[in-house]
Amino acid sequence: MSFQLTILGTGSATPVLTRNPTAHHLQIEQEGYLIDCGEGTQNQLLHYKIRTTKLKYIFITHLHGDHFFGLIGLLSTLNMHRRIEDLWIFAPKGLAEIITIQLKYSDTRLNFKIHFTETQTEKSYLLFENDNVTITTIPLIHRVPCCGFLFREKRKKRKIVKNTKPADLTFEEIKMLKDGEDIFHLDGSVKYKNEDYTTPSLKSSSYAFCSDTLFNESIIDIVKNVDMLYHEATFLDELLPRATQTNHSTTKQAALIAKKAKVGKLIIGHYSSRYKELETHLAEAREVFMNSYLAIEGEIHKVRDIKA
Ligand SMILES: [Zn+2]
Ligand SMILES: [Zn+2]
C-alpha cells in the first residue's frame, strides 16, 4: 500500500526562477491526486516523472492564479495524449465556467469527460470518498472562497494470519473475524477468539493540505493528529502585519497550528517571492514545532509506504 506526496510547486503569487507556483501530487495506492495546479504544473509532472495516465482527481483550493493557472494547459496536454478516462475536478464556484470558456474559444474538444464538483468553502464536510480514501474540506480564511483538503486512508480490516485459519470457518465467520469480532458456540462460549487468528489493521494515514489562509485556529480540530500537515507560511514572523493584511500566515503561525493540532510532521511552503534563502523559515518554524520541514520541489514525503 502506498500513500506518498511529491511536492511540485512551492512559490506564491509572483514568479521566481527557483520556484514554481503551488502544486502537490499524492499517490494513494495506484491512483494520482493533484492538489492545486499553478502555472507550469505539467512541466513539473514531467520533470519528476509522475505519470498523468494515473491522474484521476484534481483538487483546487481557490481561484487565485498561482493555484490553478496551470490547469487548462494540463487538460489540453492530456487531451493531446489521447486520454479517454474520466477526470474528477473539485474547486470553488467559477472554475467549471472558466475552463469551459477556455476550451470553447481555443476550439478544444476533449476526448474525456470531466466531472466538476463545486466545493463549499465555509464548512467542513465529506467531499469525496472511494475505496481507499475519504477527503474532507478544511474551511480557510482568504480573500476569495478557499478550502483545504484532508485526505484520510480508509481503515483496513484485520488480517487473518496464514495457516491459523480453522478449516470449518464459514464465509460469514471469516468476515466477522476480519471485522474484529469473536466467534461463539451456540451455548455462548468462545469458539474462535479473534486475536488468536488475526493481526490488527494498519493505522489509517492522513495528510492535510492547507493552502492560502489567515491564521485560523478553528482548523485545529479538523487536522488534529494527522500524520502530515502542509500549511502555508508565506512570510517570516517579522512580516506578521503584512501576512494579516493579505490573509496569509507566517512561519510561526503555521507551526503553532501544527503544535496545537499535535500533528506528526509539518511541511511549510508558498514562500513569498521576496525570499531567496529559506533557512530562516525553517528555523522559525522549528522554534515552535520541531518536526517542521520546508517544502522543496521534487521531494517525496511518505505518509505511508508499506508493501502489503
Ligand atoms: Zn497563493
Ligand atoms: Zn491565494
- Are 109 and 97 found together in one domain? yes
Same domain as 99, residue 181: no
Q: How far apart are CA 270 and CA 253, in angstroms?
A: 14
Distance CA 249, CA 239 (A): 9
Grid coordinates given for 277: 534563502
**How far away, in angstroms, is 61 Cα from ligand 2 center?**
9
CA distances from residue 203 to 112, 182, 193, 287, 298 in whole angstroms, order as listed: 36, 21, 22, 29, 27
Q: Which ligand is nearest to the CA of 214?
A: 2
Please check if 62 is assigned to a binding site. Answer: yes
Same domain, 77 and 189: no
pLDDT in tens, the chain (308 residues): 689 999 999 999 888 999 999 999 999 999 999 999 999 999 999 999 999 999 999 999 999 999 999 999 999 999 999 999 999 999 999 999 999 999 999 999 999 999 999 999 999 999 999 999 999 999 999 999 999 999 999 977 788 887 777 778 888 888 888 888 888 888 888 888 888 888 887 788 999 999 999 999 999 999 999 999 999 999 999 999 999 999 999 999 999 999 999 999 999 999 999 999 999 999 999 999 999 999 999 999 999 754 43
Confirm whether 285 is domain-assigned.
Answer: no
Question: What φ, ψ does residue 166 adopt, rounded to 5°?
Answer: -60, 140
Domain that holds residue 191: 159-199
Helix (H) or strand (E) holding 28: strand 23-28
Q: Does some domain include residue 212?
A: yes
Q: How far is the CA of 17 from the centre of ligand 2 (A)?
A: 20
Considering the domain architecture, whether residues 89 and 13 belong to the same structural domain is answered as yes
195 assigned to some structural domain:
yes
CA distance 180 to 257: 35
Same domain, 81 and 150: yes
For ligand 1, a single-atom ion, the residues with CB < 5 A are 12, 64, 66, 212
If one counts the domains in the chain, the total is 2
Catalytic position from the list 36, 66, 227, 237: 66
Q: How far is CA 178 from CA 1, 198, 307, in A?
A: 18, 7, 19
**Residue 133 shares a structural domain with residue 9:** yes
131 is catalytic: no
Burial status of residue 195 (CB atoms within 10 A of its CB: 0-12, 13-18, 19 or more): exposed
Q: Cα(231)–Cα(174) distance, rounded to whole angstroms?
A: 42
The H-or-E segment that residue 32 falls in is: strand 31-35
How far apart are the CA of 221 and the centre of ligand 1, in A?
24
Q: Is residue 141 part of a domain?
A: yes
Q: Note whether 286 and 292 are within 8 A (CB).
A: yes
The span from the CA of 92 to the CA of 145, in Å, is 7
In terms of domains, do 149 and 167 share one?
Answer: no
CB 224 within 8 A of CB 75: no
151, 193: one domain: no
pLDDT at residue 308 in the model: 38
* Ligand 1 center–CA 7 separation, angstroms: 15
Tell me if 212 is assigned to a ligand binding site. yes
Taking CA atoms, 95 is separated from 12, 53, 253, in Å, by 20, 22, 30
| Ranges of H-type helices in the chain | 41-47, 65-68, 71-80, 95-105, 171-178, 194-197, 220-223, 240-245, 251-261, 279-288
**Residue 270, annotated as binding a ligand:** yes
25 is in an annotated binding site: no
